[in-house]
Each structure stands twice: as structure tokens, then as C-alpha cells.
Structure 1
Amino acid sequence: MKKYLVQFKPFLIFVSIFFLTYIVLTLIYKFYLNSYQAEDLDGVTMMCGRNSEQLLKLLNYDIIIQKSSQNPWQEIILNGKYIARITEGCNAVSVMILFVSFVAAFSASFKKTFLFIILGLLSIYVLNVIRISLLIVLVYNFPQYTQFLHGTFFPLMIYGYVFILWIFWINRFSKYAK
């Protein structure tokens, strides 16, 4: 048994750090969400909606993204037409938790790891705002593709980006890069 523990030590360390980080961050996020009333929407999701609205207004779209008066989501109105809603799941925090857990499990020096996590989280957030904005415009113009865009293309976009960040991290900065 000891032989296998020694042989698989790097893998076991990776899995332990990954799951410990993932569980801790998920619990912190769960406590954060529980601090809001059932009919309220968390601050990160509100900020994603606000930034998506600002981006689309910058691009001269007639857009209103507003908190629903009775439900925990934001309503999206483009050119006077209700398009969709932004819910807590749209804020990409769960993707960010996966990203941080993986990078932590393949950590390098504290400084490199911390900087990569901060820059990665910022880039994931910006990509998510762009993703939401693009989804709004595409759903408005091509409503027949809503299911594909929302359920396949855009998740692939954000998870694909995170996968590229992971590969970059492993090959350039992690302790296994050499």
C-alpha cells in the first residue's frame, strides 16, 4: 500500500488540494448567497447585469436590464422587447471557483499563483459580461437559436476559455511546467 501512496503522491496531492479548495470556496459562496433574501439577487449577478447593460449602451443598443420587482432575477429588455432574464447562475462564479481550485492544485510560488488567479478571475468576469451581452443581441436577432446559444455555444465559450487558462498555467507557471 505504501508503494502506491508514494507512486501516486502527486496525483493524491492534486486531488486533495483541488477538492479542499473547491469545497471551501463553494461553502463561502453558498453562505454569501444565503445572506440574500429569496426574492433578492446577489451583488455579483447585479453587477454582471449592470456591466452588460453598460457595454451594450456603449455599442448604441437600446437596452434596459432591471431587477424584477417580485423575482430573483434581472429582466432584459432590448428595443422595447423582453428578451430573457439574468439569474444567479449567469454570473460565472461557479466557473471561477473551478478555475481557482485547479490553479491552486497546480500551484507555483504564492506570488505567481495569486497574480494568475487575480488576472484569471478578472478576465473570466470580463469575458462573461461580453458573453451575456453577445447572447442578448443574438437571442434578439436569432430567437430560433436560443437553446443552442444559451445551452451549448456560450457555455462552451466560457469553459473553453477556462480550459485554455489552465493549459497556459500548467505549461508556463505551475510547479510541473518543466
Structure 2
Amino acid sequence: MKHYFIAHKLFLLFLAKFFLTYILLTVVYQLYLGGFQQNQIDGITQLVSQNTQQLMRVLDMDVLVLKDKGASVMVFYKQKYIARIIEGCNAISIIILFVSFIVAFSGKIKPTLLFICMGSLVIYGLNVVRIALLVVLLDAYPEQTAVWHGTIFPLFIYGVVFLLWVLWVTKILDYAKKTV
């Protein structure tokens, strides 16, 4: 058994750092969400909704976001109800996944923290763009809701996260060159 741990030390260390970071950040986020009442929108989801509205208005689109009776924000586009934004739409779970991987493959503290901050901002910004595009596409092609929301946009956002991971490991962390 000891030989197994020695032989796979780096992999096991990676897994431990990944899962510990993921669990810690998830618990912190759940504690944050626990501070809100059942029908209250958390601040991050509210901010994502406002940023989506701001982006669409900058692009001269007729959009309005309003708090729903529940814990969601209704999105009106061209004066008709198109979608609602809920806590799961704010990309925090995706950012937690991203951060966990970067910490698990961490290098020096300063570049690691800088990449976590920059990558998280990229994911957040692309999520706002994703929601705005989704609103426009749901208006134009409502019969394709499942395709847009359930397939295309998850592939897009997770694809970006994957590319950020590859960038981190191969270019910034330079891990590939160190192991060859």
C-alpha cells in the first residue's frame, strides 16, 4: 500500500487539493446562500441579472429585468417575458470548479491567484454574454429552448473553462515542459 501512495503521490495530491478546495468553496457558497430567505434573490444572481440588462441596453436592445415573486429574476425582451434567471444561472458553481482545478495544479502563489481572478472574471463576463445571447435566441427560436439552454450554452461555458485549464497547465504553469 505504501508503494502505491509513493508511486501515485502527485496524482493523489492533485485529487486531495481539488476535492478539498471544491468542498471548501461549495460550503462557503452554501453558507452565503443560506443567508437569504426562500423567496429572496442572492446578491450575485441579482448582479448577473443587472449586468445582463446593462449589456443588452448598451447594445440598444429592449430589455427589462424584474424580480419575480420567487427567488428569480424575470427577463422581458421586446416587452415580452422570455426567461428567468435563477441562482444556478450565476456561474458560481462553474467558477468554483475552475478555481478548484487551478488550486489543484497550483504553482507560485502570485501567478496562481492572478490567474484565478482573471479566469473567474472571464467566466463571469462570458456568462453574462451567454445569458444575453440566450434571451435573444429564445425570442427568435423559442422551439429550440432545450437545445440552446441545455446543450449549446453549457458546451460553450464548459468549453471556455476547459480552455482556461489547458492554458494554465501548458502555457502559464508550464507544467507540460517540466514533466517531459
What TM-score does the superposition give when structure 2 sets the normalisation length?
Answer: 0.96
Aligned length in residues? 177
Partner of 1:115: 114
Please say which of residues 88-97 and 164-173 is displaced more in the overlay.
164-173
- Taking the aligned partners of 1:126 and 1:87, their CA distance within structure 2 comes to 17
Partner of 1:171: 170
Partner of 2:159: 160
1:144 to partner: Cα distance: 1.0
- Taking the aligned partners of 1:79 and 1:54, their CA distance within structure 2 comes to 15
CA RMSD of aligned residues (A): 0.8
Stretches of structure 1 lacking an aligned partner (at least 5 in a row): none
2:27 is equivalent to residue 27 of structure 1 = yes
**Identical-pair percentage:** 49
1:99-138 per-residue CA deviation (whole Å, 9 max, x = no partner) reads 0000000001000100000000001000000000000000
- Taking the aligned partners of 1:80 and 1:131, their CA distance within structure 2 comes to 20
- Taking the aligned partners of 2:15 and 2:175, their CA distance within structure 1 comes to 15
- Taking the aligned partners of 1:123 and 1:51, their CA distance within structure 2 comes to 14
- Taking the aligned partners of 1:33 and 1:151, their CA distance within structure 2 comes to 24
- Taking the aligned partners of 2:18 and 2:161, their CA distance within structure 1 comes to 15
Question: Structure 1: which 4+ aligned runs deviate by more than 6 Å?
Answer: none
Stretches of structure 2 lacking an aligned partner (at least 5 in a row): none
- For 1:24-173, list aligned pairs within 5 A: 24-68=24-68, 70-173=69-172
1:60-90 per-residue CA deviation (whole Å, 9 max, x = no partner) reads 111101111x210000111111001000000
